[in-house]
Each structure stands twice: as structure tokens, then as C-alpha cells.
Structure 1
Amino acid sequence: MHDIRTIRDDPAAFDAALARRGLAPMSSDLLALDAARRGSIQAAEAALQERNAASKQVGQAKASGDEAEFERLRALVADKKAEITRLEEEARETDARLRDALLGIPNLPYDDVPDGEDEADNVEIARWGTPRVFDFTPKEHFEIAGVVPGMDFETAAKLSGSRFVMLRGAVARIHRALAQWMLDVHTGENGLVEHMTPVLVRDDAMLGTDKLPKFGDDSFLTREGYWLIPTSEVTLTYSVAGDVLEEAALPLRMTAHTLCFRSEAGSAGRDTAGMLRQHQFEKVEMVSVTHPDQSRAELDRMTGLAQDILERLGLPYRTVVLCTGDMGFGARRTHDIEVWLPGQDTYREISSCSTTGDFQARRMNARFKPAAGGKPEFVHTLNGSGLAVGRCLIAVLENGQQADGSVTLPEVLAPYLGGKTALSPEGALV
């Protein structure tokens, strides 16, 4: 959420930053609400002073026997009390309108984010690996002979409808191995602290991590009022809501492997084949809570951790900086990592690493106490996939496929697969 004081100090800069996102100026409307709110507060304070002064004079008038003055002052006190109540209510209503307006405005891009309208304007900043040259036409993951027995869309549809999959046997084990291996790398080598979080959260957690109010249609809401998390970014980030952390405790680096749920309301007709875009999927998420001075470097670090996972798996990828028109609602800068999928003959997103600055921290009042003293300051929060497990499975299967329908698996997974290094054409680990 934005700080109205910053907008008040430089409305032109605020509008210019919104224009980079393709949005019309908003500062005038926001400042009008702010002025109305402040006016009501100031008027209420003035009325309170008048009421207090009159209250003191009431006793004096009573003691002097001036009944007319006594009645006038008593009526004035009553009038001022009603006026204060009215003004305070006006201030609350205007404050709520201002807060609602601020909650619906996206974050402002950093100066080094490229301008653009959509994904065509994203800028590549890194590329690793050379896509394999096949001596046959590579298939998509769900068409590979060895994968077909372990990737059941029909049974999943019978259970839950479209955009679900049931994994079984060797394919399910490879999926589990990927998640376990990623967690072991992140916790054993990268210094991230593992968490097991709830997947049901309240409104406040979704609001604090900028998923509400704008993106409610993209998530699932239960009858009891709980939201199914779209990613453990929500639970990990919101875990510091309302806290005042010691500066020495920063950065906090967290990871979690959870189920994730998305309604995919805006993706009708996209990626309907296979398991690329599902209502239910799994991710190993990374979240950092940092000092403001550290957040830009932390973004590069987080991006590097996700890239390292792909390199260890031997999967070619490219990294792009999202332009202003393609960047997410809460981000100030985003690095998307796209893995090569030979079955589609293209790169597809497998990780998105973003810094939100203090945007989420303001929404959830997460601060730190400066070691040098002074008032608490807002932390910065970052999130990134390390990685999306299902998409990683797709990439492993497609890049490792052989002409006979078998799949050669990355060596790093062998300890998690009982020493097995391949998927046979019949769907067994060998």
C-alpha cells in the first residue's frame, strides 16, 4: 500500500510512476480524500476545544446564578458533542474510502524496470544451457510413453473436473523427489529456514500480501470464509504481520513446500492440455524479509538460487526482467525465469522472483527497530518460486525424453529415487 504522505509530498512523481504502468493520474482524487479527512479531523479537534472551554464555564455560570448563561453553555456543550461525533464519523468514513482507494493501486516500478506494454517488451538478462537437439520430434510431457501410465487426467476429471491431474507410481515419486531435493538444497546450502504452513488463511493474510481486494476472483474461498492460498508467499510473508523485528534479525529467509490453489479465472482456453496450468499444484516457495537497503541485492540472490536449481537439473533457461506493463500488482521489480520445454519448442515461466519494497509491509504493519535507534521502519519483502514443482517435473520429463519413450532423469535425483536414473517406456523407474 502507498504512503499518502509520499503522494502529498510529490504528486507529480506518483502520477508519472503510475503512467509507466499505463494508468491514469490518481493523485488529485487521493489528495482530495486526504484533505477532506484531515479537514474533518481538524474540525473535530477545534470543536473539542470549544466543548472543553464551554464545559469549564458551565460550572462558573451555575455558581454565579446566571441561569440563562448556564442553559446557553449547556446547550453549546451538547451541540459540540454532537458535532464532534458527526465530524469523527466523517473522518472515519473518508479514511476508509482513502484506504480502499490506496489498496487498489499497484506498486510503483523501480527506475531500472524497463517500460513496456506486455511480455513482448520484457528484457532478457541471462541465459544458461543450450537446448538439446533431438534426432526425433520431441513430445509434450503428457504424450511421452513412459509418462502416460503415471499422469492420469481422466480420473482427476472424474474427481474434480478440468485442470486437475492424478499422478501415480514412478511419476508421482519423481514429483515428490523434486520437491524434497529442492527443500534440502535451500535449507542445507542456501540458508533458508523450512516452514510447514497452513493452506487456509483469513482475509487479513490475503489483504496484507496484496492478493485482496483486487484478485479475489483468482483464488478459492471456502464456505467458512477461509481462502485457499495461491502460494505460501501469503503465509510466509504474513507471518511477520504486526511485528517489530530487531534489525540484527534481518534478513529472514524462509522456504516452504505447499499445495497451492488458483481459480485461473483469467486464463480460459490457455494451456488446457497437460499439467502446465492447474487449479491445484505444488511449489517450493522462497520469501525474504529484509532491511530496505538490502532488498535489491536480495532479489538478485533469490534469482540466483532459483537459477541454480535449474542448472543442477541440467535444464536450459533464460531470465527476463518484466516490463512495467507485465509486472505483477505488488512488485517493484520482477525477474521471471523461463525453462526450455522442447515439447512446446519454447521457454515457459518456472519461477518469478519479485521485490515489493515496503508495499506489503505497510499493508500488514511489519517493521524493524533500527540498531542505531529511532522510530521503527517498514521492512521490505521479497518472494520467489524455488521452484514450481509441477512445471519442474514437466521440464525434466520433456528434456530427458528418449526416442523409445523412456526418460533419462537428472543425476541429483538418484538418491531420492532409490538410485534409479531413468523412467522406462513402460513407466517404471530403472
Structure 2
Amino acid sequence: MLDIKAVRQDPEAVAQALARRGFTFDVDQFTALDGRRKQADVDSQALLAERKSASKKIGQLVGQGLSVDEAKAQVNETLEKIAAQLDELTEQAKRVQQELDDLLLGLPNLPADEVPEGQSEDDNVEVARWGEPLAFDFNPRDHVEIGEALGQLDSETAGKITGSRFTVMYGELARLHRALIQFMLNLHTGEHGYQEIYVPYIVNRDSLRGTGQLPKFEEDLFKLRADQDYYLIPTAEVPVTNVARDRIFEDAELGESGLRFACHSPCFRSEAGSYGRDTRGMIRQHQFEKVELVQLVRAADSDRALESLTGHAEAVLQALALPYRKVILCGGDIGFSARKTYDLEVWLPGQSAYREISSCSSFGDFQARRMQARWRNPATGKPELLHTLNGSGLAVGRTLVAVLENYQRADGSVVIPEALRPYMGGAEQLGG
């Protein structure tokens, strides 16, 4: 959530910043709502002063010779009228405040100054590239053909069990999927300083509101029951970041580099708005798994933390020798809660294209303000909002896709990357 003080101070500047995202901020609507809220406060104070004055009049009337009961009877009519007006004004103020809160909850984050201009993914800017795509001496197949030829990838059975956008994996392929998870967790906890964390896969509305999925993106979520506010997580970002909700961390708890969490979890997304896109294979599924990286840091460390977190995700791709490129998202493509995002896009020979495998984002204090996630600054003794960051380190299914396609052989076998062989009992290939 944006700081309402900053919005009040210069709503036109906020509107200009949000326009870089393709979002229209109605300054007049905000100003009118905020004006009504302020007027309700003024009117309430005036009525409270009038009530205080009327109450004093009881003593004055007694001093003029009336009994206490007579004085109260004379003033009560005025007090009852004021009380009724106060009740009505209080309800009016609540309604206006709710409208104002709803408006603020619907505003996306302000993009960082360095975020490039643009309206879509076509305007994202490449900032780095690592590795060279392998030149095959045969026509490379996509991961679906490879997995089905191995007899270990089965979308048809998954469709019978559940429906479209699900997958069943067997044998070595299922083990390779598990090996990727273990490898990523070990790398991030052993070398990058993350604490492994296990969290619920079901969250409540407050948690989703805290990280920005609600109220705007409810159609993207799987709600469990109509009469309960429980949802399957779209990403581990939601429960992991919410460990800081309504908390004040002492400076010592943050250490030098803030709090770092690594979490493996399934993720569940309805993929609303993506119908017809990536319906084949494992690129865009309703259920998939990720190893999520979350950092909670002081504001002064925020920019540096984004670079380090992105580097940690890149380290997975480099360890697996998978060619990729790094892009910074333009204003029109950046996520609702993010102020700056790097996407890592891995090379997929089966598509002859780079495809997203990780998004690493800095949210500034946007999520923390919604969650009231704070730390106590020892210099002032006062609580300050944390800055939150997260990124996929990596999306497991897409990494599996990248391994299958980049390490395929003409005979249909797949070489297992050296970094994964200890997790595969020393096996060097799938099939063959």
C-alpha cells in the first residue's frame, strides 16, 4: 500500500508515476474522498465541543436556581440531538474511510526511477546474458516429446485424474524433479545464507491482502470454500512474507543482511487470463513447485538486496550450465506490488526462445505497510517499515523443462547435469 501522506502531499506526482505502469490514478476521486474524510473529522470535533458546552450548561442552570433534574431535563434534548448527529456522522466517516481504504488497496506500487518505460514484455530491457545456446546436430525436441518418449511424462493421465494443465511424472523424471528441489535448497541454505522454512500451503484473506494478491487478483486464486476465507497459495511468497505481519523486529534480529528465507512449496494458480497460452507441457500449470527466496531488510539495504537475491537465483542456472538472459521489466510489465523486477529467462531449444524461469522483485515498503511488518531503528528507538523482496530460486518445473531440452541427445536420452548427479545416485543420464 502506498503511504497516504505521500499521496496527499503530491497526488499529481503519484498519478504520473502510476501512468508509467499504464495505470490511471483518479486524483479528483482521491481528493474528494480525502476531503470528505477530513470534513467528517472537523464536524465530529465541532459536535463534541458542542456536547461539552451543553453538559456544562447543567451546572450553570443549577446555579441559577433549577434543581439538578430540571437542569438535566432542559439540556437532555440538546444532548440527545447531538448524540444522534454524532452517530450518523460516525457511520458516514466509516463509509468514507472504507472507500478511501479500498481506493488505496487498489493502487499498485510506484515503479523505481530506473524502471524503463514501456507497455508490455516487448519493452523489457536485457541487461545481461550468460552462456551460449548449444548448437545441436539434430532437430531438438521439446520437453513433452522427450518426456513422453522416455515414458515418464504423462499429461493424458493427469487430465483424467484432474483436468488440463496438470502432469504426472514417473521414475527417473520424478526423481530428477525432486533432485532439483534438494539441490536448490542446499545451495541457498548452504552458500547464500538463507534459513529454510516450512509454511502452510493454505492461507487466509489477510495474508493475501498483505502481499498484494487481494483484493485485486482474486480470480487468479483457488479458494477452498465459498463460506471460508481460505485459499491455496499461489506462491510461497505469501505465507513466508507474512511471518513478519504485525511484528516489530529488533535490529539484532535482522543481522547484517536482514532476514533470508528459502522455502520449497507447491503453488496453485488458476491462470486466469492465460487461456490458450502454453497449454502444452509444463510451462504454465495449475499446480507446480518452486523454491522461493524471501528477504526482509532495512530500507537502506533494499537496492543491494535485490541484486544479491537475483544473483542467488542466477547461481542455480550457472551451476546447471543453463544459458539464460537477465532483463529488467518495464513499467507496463511489472507486477502490482513490485517497484523493480528482474526476470531471468532460460534458453529452451525446443521453443528456440528464452522463457521466464524466475522473477526477482523489490517491493520497497509497499507490502510491509499492508502487513505492518517493522523493525526498531536503534538510532531513534522507533519502529520503521521493513522492505520486502522475493524471487524464484527457481521454478522447479521450468528448470526441469530446461534441463530436458538443453541436455537432450539424438537417441532420446538426457544427460544429467553434474551438479545433480549426487542427488540421482550417481546416474549420468535418463534413458538410453
- Tell me the TM-score normalized by structure 1: 0.96
Name the CA shift for 1:63/1:111 in 2 (closer, same or farther; >3 Å): same
The percent identity for this pair of structures is: 52
SS in 2 for 1:403: coil
Aligned to 1:314: 321
Alignment partner, residue 153 of structure 1: 155
Asked whether the equivalents of residues 332 and 355 of structure 1 are also in contact (C-alpha less than 8 Å), the reply is yes
Counterpart position of 1:55: 55
CA distance in 2, matches of 1:368, 1:252: 11
Look up the SS of the partner of 1:311 in the other structure.
Answer: helix
- Amino acid across the alignment from 1:37: R
1:271 to 256, 265, 278: 278
| In structure 1, C-alpha distance between the alignment counterparts of 2:63 and 2:84, rounded to whole Å | 26
C-alpha distance in 2 between matches for 1:262 and 1:235: 15
Q: Mean alpha-carbon deviation: is it higher for 197-206 or for 10-19?
A: 10-19
71-80 vs 59-68, greater mean Cα deviation: 59-68
Query: Structure 1, unaligned stretches of length 5 or more?
Result: 426-430
From 198, 203, 221, give the equivalent of 2:223: 221
Give the letter aligned to residue 335 of structure 1: Y
Distance in 2, Cα, partners of 1:320 & 1:72? 75
* 1:271-303 alpha-carbon deviations (Å, 9 max, x no partner): 011111100000000011110111111000000
Shift of 1:356: 0.7
Distance 1:147 1:294, change over 3 A: farther
Secondary structure of 1:158's counterpart equals helix
Map Cα deviations across residues 166-218 of structure 1 (whole Å, 9 max, x no partner): 11100000000000110001111110010111010100000111000111000
Structure 2 match to 1:232: 236
Measure how far apart 1:28 and its partner are. Answer: 2.4
C-alpha distance in 2 between matches for 1:278 and 1:325: 24
- Counting only pairs closer than 5 Å after superposition, residues 302-381 of structure 1 correspond to structure 2 as 302-381=309-388
Q: Could you tell me which amino acid in structure 2 is paired with residue 42 of structure 1?
A: V
Matches within 5 A, 1:86-101: 86-101=88-103
- 1:13 alignment partner AA: A
Q: Distance in 2 between matches of 1:334 and 1:394?
A: 23
Structure-2 residue corresponding to 1:428: none
> Amino acid of the residue matched to residue 319 of structure 2?
R
In 2, Cα distance between equivalents of 1:269 and 1:126: 31
The structural deviation recorded for 1:59 is: 3.8
How far the C-alpha of 1:117 sits from its partner, in A, is: 0.7
Matched positions, count: 425
Q: Secondary structure at the match of 1:57?
A: helix
Equivalence for 1:40? 40
Within-5 A mapping of 1:19-418: 19-62=19-62, 64-66=64-66, 70-144=72-146, 148-223=150-225, 224-250=228-254, 251-418=258-425
Amino acid at match of 1:55: S
Q: Is the 8 A contact 2:142 2:405 kept in 1?
A: yes
In structure 2, runs of 5+ residues without a counterpart are: none
**Counterpart of 2:236 in structure 1: which amino acid?**
S
Deviation at 1:420?
A: 0.7
- Following TM superposition, by how much is the alpha carbon of 1:26 offset from its aligned partner in structure 2, in angstroms? 2.2
User: What is the CA deviation profile of residues 206-239 of structure 1, one whole-angstrom value per residue up to 9, with x for unaligned ones?
Assistant: 0111000111000100114310000000001011
CA distance in 1, matches of 2:233, 2:64: 69
List structure 1 runs of 4+ shifted beyond 6 angstroms: none
TM-score normalised by L of structure 2:
0.96
From the superposition, tell whether residues 418 and 121 of structure 1 become closer, same or farther in structure 2 (CA, over 3 Å).
Answer: same
RMSD after superposition: 1.4
CA distance in 1, matches of 2:382, 2:35: 26
In 2, distance between residues paired with 1:173 and 1:361?
A: 38
Give the partner amino acid of 1:186. H
